[in-house]
């Protein structure tokens, strides 16, 4: 699998009638339709228990739906084995988490290279792409710094660099500003805008309506259902941007 969509018109994410049920008759998702086009920047926003984390797991191929269809970068995940699903996830999806998940004793460069471990690239190529990703997020002068030598905002930038180093089709950011002060959080949101302007497709999962409001598209979810989908004016008039 490659990290590129063969057809520009193919959505990065295409969910139809997706439900997710857990034992005890718990329905986390109750029939979700969601399409994310290439180069979109959107928020999936809802309170705790709304189903947004489950939606993240489904869109990120970390879990399978109980019913409905899920296509990621044109691949129907229902037809894939677990091994094939892992390969698709590695090639097409980058994850950004609230808690950073950096290796404590490793340098920023080594942490970003870790995200390319299963890419099949040579060590030299992984090192080069990791260095380029750190430059891209404004940390080209912090490659040898370890997490304890970085601020919270810088740690999140390293995590973002790790997510974008493999040039995935989709970035899923789970509460990316949740562990940051307001200034660092605003800087991270600005960086996500910059990455989107460079061509990245990014979905930000958040409970913070202030974060959601500064993104071009807001998908509101509650009780496992999408209750509102605010798209950019250009998308409503002439198709998705």
Taking each continuous run of H as one helix and of E as one strand, the counts in the chain are: 8, 10
Q: What is the mean pLDDT of each run of 10 residues along the chain (241 residues)?
A: 59 96 92 96 94 95 96 94 91 92 96 90 95 95 97 95 93 93 92 93 94 94 95 50 34
Query: Can you give the pLDDT at residue 66?
Result: 96
Query: Can you give the pLDDT at residue 3?
Result: 40
Which of 115-150 are b and which e, b meaning 16 or more Cβ less than 10 Å from the residue's Cβ? Answer: bbeebebeeeebbebbbebbebbebeebbebbbeeb
Three-class secondary structure of residue 175 per DSSP: coil
The domains of the chain are located at 13-238
Rounded to whole angstroms, the Cα distance separating 15 from 212 reads 21
Query: Can you give the pLDDT at residue 120?
Result: 85
Q: 139, 108 in Cβ contact below 8 A?
A: yes
The CATH number of 13-238 is: 3.40.50.300
Query: Can you give the pLDDT at residue 17?
Result: 97
Query: Can you give the pLDDT at residue 4?
Result: 44
Rounded to whole angstroms, the Cα distance separating 103 from 112 reads 10
Query: Can you give the pLDDT at residue 233?
Result: 57
């Amino acid at each position: 699998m490659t990290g590129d969509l063969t057809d520009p018109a193919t959505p990065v994410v295409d969910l139809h009638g997706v439900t997710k049920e857990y034992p005890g008759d718990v329905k986390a998702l109750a029939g979700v339709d969601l399409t994310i086009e290439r180069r979109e920047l959107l928020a999936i926003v809802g309170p705790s228990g709304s189903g947004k984390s489950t939606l993240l797991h489904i869109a990120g191929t970390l879990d399978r739906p109980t019913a409905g269809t899920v296509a990621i970068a044109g691949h129907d995940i229902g037809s894939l084995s677990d091994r094939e699903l892992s390969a698709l996830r590695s090639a097409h999806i980058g994850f950004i988490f609230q808690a950073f998940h950096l290796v404590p004793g490793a340098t920023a460069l080594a942490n970003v290279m870790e995200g390319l471990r299963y890419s099949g690239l040579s060590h030299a190529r992984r090192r080069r792409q990791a260095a380029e990703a750190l430059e891209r997020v404004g940390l080209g002068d912090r490659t040898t710094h370890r997490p304890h030598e970085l601020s919270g905002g810088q740690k999140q930038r390293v995590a973002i660099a790790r997510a974008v180093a493999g040039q995935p089709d989709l970035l899923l950011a789970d509460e990316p500003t949740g562990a940051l002060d307001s200034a660092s959080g605003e800087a991270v949101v600005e960086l996500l805008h910059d990455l989107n302007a460079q061509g990245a497709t990014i979905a930000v999962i958040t409970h913070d309506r202030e974060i959601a409001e500064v993104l071009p598209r807001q998908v509101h979810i509650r009780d496992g259902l999408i209750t509102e989908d605010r798209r950019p004016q250009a998308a409503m008039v002439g198709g998705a941007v």
